[in-house]
Amino acid sequence: MQIGEAARASGVSAKMIRHYEAIGLVPTADRRDSGYRDYADEDLSRLRFIRHSRDLGFPIEQIRVLLRLWTDRGRSNAEVKALARTHLAELEGRIVRLREMADVLQHLADACDGDGRPDCPILAGLEAAGCDGSRAGNRSVCHPNPGAD
Question: Which residues of this chain interact with a copy of itself, rule CB under 8 A?
Answer: 9-11, 45, 48-49, 51-53, 55-57, 66, 69-70, 72-78, 80-82, 84-85, 87-88, 91-92, 94-95, 98-99, 101-102, 104-106, 108-109, 112-120, 122-123, 125-127, 129, 131-134
Nearest to 45 by CA among 2, 6, 4, 3: 6
Amino acid (1-letter code) at residue 43 = D
11 is a site residue for DNA (CB under 7 A): no
Report the SS3 class of residue 7.
Answer: helix
**Distance from CA of residue 102 to its chain's centroid?**
18
86 is a site residue for DNA (CB under 7 A): no
Closer residue to DNA (CB): 13 or 124 = 13
**Strand bridging mode 30-31 / 37-38:** antiparallel
